A and B are shown apart, each in its own frame.
Chain A
Amino acid sequence: MIPVEAYLVVSTLLFFIGVYGFLVRKNLIGILMAVELILNAVNINFVVFNRFLYPDHLEGYIYSLFVIVVAAAETAIAISIIINVYRKLKDVRVDSINELKN
């Protein structure tokens, strides 16, 4: 049987790949994609913990379901906001939303 730790390694790596992506991606949509990676990593965690450690109840299972749903909603709003940014600035690069600072 595959140990929980193995899954954890995968999810953690995926999580930080997502974080890395968030930090380096040059445009907003790319950043949004990185967020999806992060959420997937989290989901793996929930599912694996549920499956291997606490199979009595479906807590992690349901949680990951909800995360997927919320992620979808979030993405929808985020994309419409990005489109909005594009409409205003004709640009979706991160550097372009740099008016508000200091």
Chain B
Amino acid sequence: METITNLSPIILALPFLMFLFLGLCGNKLFKSNPNIAGWIGTAGLSVVAIVSYYIAIQYFWVEGKGADAYQQFVLFNHEWLKMTDNLVISIGFMLDPISAMMLVVISTVSLMVHIYSLGYMHGEEGFQRYYAVLSLFTFAMMGLVVATNIFQMYIFWELVGVSSFLLISFYFIKPSAVAAAKKAFIVTRFADMFFLIGILILSYYTNTFDFLKLTAVSDGHATLVNNTMCGEMFMGLSVTSIAMFLIFLGGAGKSAMFPFHIWLPDAMEGPTPASALIHAATMVVAGVFLVARMFPVYFFEAHDVLTIIGYIGAFTSLFAAIIACTQTDIKRVLAFSTISQIAYMFVALAVSGYTSEHEACLGYTASMWHLFTHAMFKACLFLGAGCIIHAVHSNEMNAMGNLRKFMPIAHITFGISCLAIAGILPFSGFYSKDEILVAAFEHDKVLYACQAFVAGLTAFYMFRLYFRIFWYSENPAHAHHTPHEAPMNMNIPLIVLSVFTCYSFFNLVSNDSYQLFSSKITADRVGFELETNWTIAIASLLVAGVGIAIAWVLYKEKNDKPDMIAGKVKCLYISASHRFYIDEIYLFITRKIIFGGICVAIAWFDRHIIDGFMNLLAWISRELSYDIRDVQSGNLQQYAWGFLVGVLAIAMFAIYY
């Protein structure tokens, strides 16, 4: 235990110091050889990864298990800002099953991305800056998941936001990248505002920020919240529900849930490895993590919100999946797929029970599991896509085709990951997705039906992607510009991540690994025995198979069937390829209404009415000054007349007033 406690600060401090070091002196020190900066960053992150693994392992297998449940350790908690005696923002380190798992996820993906970037970003202007920001992101993400209080989480929440901004705008000369960065930041910021308001409401009633206090459960209630907020109403709604819904909205922003999803596809303007890390594996699941963190409160005190989350998740996953089917930019396809998969996780949480007594109690586990597996295969997909883009210098599907012969490693790893995301046995995606479907089935058949359909869609569009890239017909441009395999330092991460994807092969060795998640990561931290529901598993396999088959038919080779089908459902196709015009609606609201309407009106009002009033005062005195100039006419007798009238008027005033 002591070792863990002593090591834990490294996880936060090292990336932060790395950020400062690379950010402040990276440019100067490594001017001649920027790669050194990359190596230093990677080395630093390796240390972090090792420590994270060590801590996670120690926690799960040695220290964590208490009498009946996993314990929540606060390894350190430094007072950072004291608002009142009770409302204290601390920077601390909380170790519990989900944070330990997240440590593993983040450090793994981050390390892989660090290594990968050595090759991918080689020679880019601002290489040092890139690594500095990666370190910053790692720091922020680590801080987020180990937060001991909701405000610490908010702090790091903002920090991941800004590092995301910096990475998206990495190619700041490109206007599209700048626009995407702005969009990402502002949309998430907008959602963060709700998060903040939620925190304010929550802390106003509970008078604490502390997760341990907020999520403490006894007698089927989140005690503190129940005691302080139960029965408080605002405009006919339960205050608890409002607060928890607002907090969810914060998470929805980061996790790109409808209607805040618009920033994520654009965010692909950033360097691909950064997209893999931030916009696929880690940051975007922060929302899921947030809901998981506050799960007891949601479950016991705001179950209605949980239901809403479920439907929002289901809708988003369907919505994103449909759009994904029509996109031609491979990173966008992946982005919509990410949205869709994260929505899955939300659905899983929404349908979950708290303890094994409740129905669908495996939802929570499934959600976290899916988070884990998704992080790995999606990172792998993105990195693979990076290799491809690196090779063909384009994001568009049309520039690709039949790449399997040029890039075998990318082909295999990409294929494995596609299988995983499609939920094909025996890859990791199958297990996690299956559990989600089981939970949904147990809880709500509608959700189940929706999610099952989405599973089919997922399989379809992922294999559409796969076939379009690696099969299909060859792009004639390749004749004079042959795509080639990526360098080793880019391929190794692909391989490592695809190994993680295949981890279920370990199941063949031992049943323990199948129970890995259900025994350790559950809502009540107690653990339960997981049993495969084969009915549903087979059903979902079938659905996925159908999806793959359709993709096979349509995209294995160049043919006119896809266009024909698109022509049949033209309306749907066009609106889906335009992402259902959500961006346009946003643009209309921001440009026309907020900027063109409110801001311009206020600015006008300020210049012409408020300032105009001040100027009017000045103008009046000036005009008055000119108007009365003739009083001083220079005529002696008028002076005397004024004198006389003055005397009379004053006398009358004094007498009669």
Contact = CB atoms under 8 A, between A and B. Distances in A.
Tell me, yes or no, whether A and B come into direct contact in the complex with CB atoms closer than 8 A.
yes
Interface of A: 19, 22-25, 31, 94-95, 97-102
A94 B284 CA distance: 91
B634 A99 contact: yes
B637 A101 contact: no
A95 B637 CA distance: 10
A102 B637 contact: no
B350 to A, nearest CB: 82
Interface string B619-639: 000000000011011111100
B640 A23 contact: yes
A23 B634 contact: no
Contacts of B635: 94-95, 98, 101
B632 A22 contact: no
Contacts of B630: 102
17 contacts: A19-B640, A19-B644, A22-B640, A23-B640, A23-B641, A31-B636, A31-B637, A94-B635, A95-B635, A97-B634, A98-B633, A98-B634, A101-B632, A102-B630, A102-B632, A102-B633, A102-B634
A23 B643 CA distance: 11
A55 B315 CA distance: 113
B636 A101 contact: no
Given A23-B644, A31-B637, A98-B635, 4 more contacts: A24-B637, A95-B635, A98-B633, A101-B635
Contacts of A97: 634, 636
Nearest to B641: A23
Contacts of B629: 102
Contact of B634 (A19, A25, A31, A100): A100
Which of B632, B637, B641 gathers most chain A CB within 10 Å? B637
Contacts of A98: 633-635
Nearest to B631: A102
Contacts of A24: 637
A22 B644 CA distance: 11
Nearest to A97: B636
Contacts, number: 32
B625 to A, nearest CB: 10
Identify the 10 closest CB pairs spanning chains A and B, nearest first: A101-B634, A98-B634, A102-B629, A23-B637, A22-B640, A94-B636, A102-B632, A23-B641, A100-B634, A101-B633
Contacts of A102: 629-630, 632-634
Interface string B193-219: 000000000000000000000000000
Nearest to A94: B636
B168 to A, nearest CB: 67
Interface in B600-657: 629-630, 632-637, 640-641, 644
Nearest to A102: B629
A39 B157 CA distance: 92
Contacts of A19: 640, 644
A22 B634 contact: no
A50 B635 CA distance: 38
Contacts of B637: 22-25, 31, 94
A22 B637 CA distance: 7
A100 B629 CA distance: 12
Interface in B159-175: none
Contacts of B634: 97-102
A22 to B, nearest CB: 5
A60 to B, nearest CB: 22
Contacts of A23: 637, 640-641, 644
A97 B638 CA distance: 13
A95 B629 CA distance: 18
B630 to A, nearest CB: 7
A100 B641 CA distance: 18
A33 B261 CA distance: 97
A24 B638 CA distance: 10
A7 to B, nearest CB: 21
A101 to B, nearest CB: 3
Which of A25, A95, A100, A101 gathers most chain B CB within 10 Å? A101
A50 to B, nearest CB: 24
Nearest to A98: B634
A21 B632 CA distance: 21
A96 to B, nearest CB: 11
Contacts of A99: 634
B264 to A, nearest CB: 72
A97 B635 CA distance: 7
A84 B641 CA distance: 25
A99 B632 CA distance: 12
A35 to B, nearest CB: 10
A77 to B, nearest CB: 16
Contacts of A100: 634
Nearest to B640: A22
Nearest to A34: B640
Nearest to B644: A19
Contacts of A101: 632-635
Interface in B506-528: none
A30 B297 CA distance: 102
Nearest to B636: A94
Contacts of B633: 98, 101-102
B646 to A, nearest CB: 13
B633 to A, nearest CB: 6
A23 B636 CA distance: 9
A22 B630 CA distance: 20
A101 B644 CA distance: 19
A97 B258 CA distance: 86
